Amino acid sequence: MRALGRSVRPEATWILIAAALLAGPARPPAWNSFYTFEWGAVATMALAVVGRKDRRAAQLAIASPALAGAYLAIAAAVRAFGSNPRAGHADWALVAGGLFAIALSASRYSGRPGFVSRLTPVAFVSVQLFVGLGAHWLLYALGWDAVGPTTFSSYTVSGVFLVELPLLALALAGVGLGISRDWRSTVDRLGLRRPRFLTIGIGLTVAMLLRLVSPWVNLISYESSQTTYFKIRAILEVSQDVDLKTLILIALAAGFCEETLFRGALSPRVGILLSAVAFGLIHVQYGPSAVFVSVVVDGVIFGIMRRYLDTTAAITAHAVYDLPSVAFVSVGFALIVGMTLIVIAAIRERRTLRAALTLMWQALWLHEPPARQRARRWIAARPRRLQVSAPIAAALIVVATSVWISGPHLNSTTQGGELRLAVSNYPPDAGVGFYVVQPGGYLGIGSTTTDGSGNGSVSVRAFPRSGSYIVTACLRSQPSNCPASGLVTII
């Protein structure tokens, strides 16, 4: 161990001590829990960083994922063949992930030339961790029928640290804090900057825009699978059944720790998209749904903020987005504050103002004939398949739009404090019932009969408290047939 000790700086002992202290702020978890595997990943990543200069440390870092994969594969196979297997074939996701991890390590040890042999120890461990995240997500996705509110427990103060601190430690270990970097260079590598008016303003604005979009994501999730929608709602209600202080702590811890790892440490090395996918894979509570896709899209947006601003801006957007709604007077008020901070930053920082004016000028320049000529030459230089696929894609968009326009629709308007719901393109002379979608079922709020053109409307006076709701319009003769749904916002 003398060679290993010479390549480790004294600050590394601080990481090991901190890891031991943070290993169980409350009740120590089981040795084979997911939490333990997270800290094992931290230790493996630290060994991989040491392995850049020490061969034995590199070999240990390469062997560790294979050992963990072997344990998971055997345990999952025993459970799959046992008397109490999980729903479907979900456990086989862990078996496949474990075997793949073993195969990667074996390929590295074989010394055969190829992609795996060219990876540095840190990159190799990162690939193995990505495989593990994918297998863990597939475990929940394939066994989604057996997942429910009882699968997850409500957050506690200690539980927040149990979930988030390993992610922060993984980021610090991955960039080599105490091994190849000191505190100052680590903070610079992670893109952590002192908050400015511009970063806070953009972060606040982006968070509120994402919050405005989230009800539509819920509507898409409901339209694609009502069962999945209600399950996610129930899981969130159980996990977030805590007081306001704990919810704020969850938002702040998730924003700082997750963004430091996925945007600060990972995004500059693997790109915005892959880091966003890894960010989505840790949110197993959303399963295979539109909400999961929206989390990946959020990760892409945060990654763009990291690239063109800094990690502090991404942390601000993530934390503010996760804050409970009661923390703000309204989304509109928060947007006004965010835009005001951006304007103040533009005035205080002339470079930012000049950059914005330059971008505006370039956008206007696209309307000039030389820009259009350059665009045409660019398209002509593209491969033939791109030139052919563009008209086909345009035709598909036209067909899809036509089908959507001719399909059933649900619209809502508010006049004089009264909500009016209307349906169109429904079967003629049919009874239609309007219902508010709730976790416990449907709440009827009115009914109507369509005319000969399939149109009908109803006025609703009594409605639940203010907020955004999914309203569905079902045929009275076939209650399970609900052709259209819509998002209704009550102020």
Tell me how many degrees the CA angle 72-78-82 measures, rounded to the nearest 5: 145
Mean pLDDT (the chain, rounded): 77
Q: At what angle do helices 311-322 and 244-259 cross, to 10 degrees?
A: 150
Inform me whether the pLDDT recorded for 377 exceeds 50: yes
For residue 16 the two structure tokens come to: 């090991």
Question: Comparing 328 with 148, which gets the higher pLDDT?
Answer: 148
Q: What is the mean pLDDT of residues 447-454?
A: 86
CA 478 – CA 424 distance, rounded (Å): 17
DSSP string, 252-320: HHHHHHHHIIIIIIIHHHH-HHHHHHHHHHT-GGG-SSHHHHHHHHHHHHHHHHHHHT-HHHHHHHHHH
Instruction: Give the pLDDT band of residue 317 (cuts 50, 70, 90).
Output: very high
Give the list of residues 6+ apart from residue 414 with CB closer than 8 angstroms, or none: 420, 491
Name the strand (E) or helix (H) holding 111.
none
Least confident of 110-124, 184-198, 371-385: 371-385
Inform me whether the pLDDT recorded for 16 exceeds 60: no
CA 282 – CA 140 distance, rounded (Å): 11
Radius of gyration of the chain (CA): 26
Least confident of 23-37, 145-159, 267-281: 23-37
What are the tens digits of pLDDT across the range 30-72? 445 677 788 888 888 988 998 888 888 888 989 998 898 888 8
Instruction: Give the pLDDT band of residue 182 (cuts 50, 70, 90).
Output: confident
Instruction: Give the pLDDT band of residue 13 (cuts 50, 70, 90).
Output: very low
Residue 410's DSSP bridge partners are: 423
The widest CA-to-CA distance across the chain, in whole angstroms, is 88
For residue 318 the two structure tokens come to: 């993530």
The per-residue pLDDT for 357 is 56
What are the tens digits of pLDDT across the range 225-267? 878 888 888 888 777 777 778 888 888 999 999 999 999 999 9
Instruction: Give the pLDDT band of residue 24 (cuts 50, 70, 90).
Output: very low
Instruction: Give the pLDDT band of residue 2 (cuts 50, 70, 90).
Output: very low
Say what percent of the chain tops pLDDT 90.
16
Q: What is the mean pLDDT of residues 179-196?
A: 89
Q: Which residue has the tokens 């350059």?
A: 374
Instruction: Give the pLDDT band of residue 153 (cuts 50, 70, 90).
Output: confident
CA 49 – CA 32 distance, rounded (Å): 25
Highest mean pLDDT among 234-238, 292-296, 413-417: 292-296
Identify the CA nearest to 25 among candidates 172, 169, 157: 157
Question: Comparing 462 with 280, which gets the higher pLDDT?
Answer: 280
Identify the CA nearest to 295 among candidates 219, 210, 215, 190: 210
Structural domains of the chain, with CATH: 2-333 (no CATH), 408-490 (2.60.40.10)
The per-residue pLDDT for 361 is 53
What are the tens digits of pLDDT across the range 453-486? 888 888 886 555 666 777 888 888 777 677 777 7
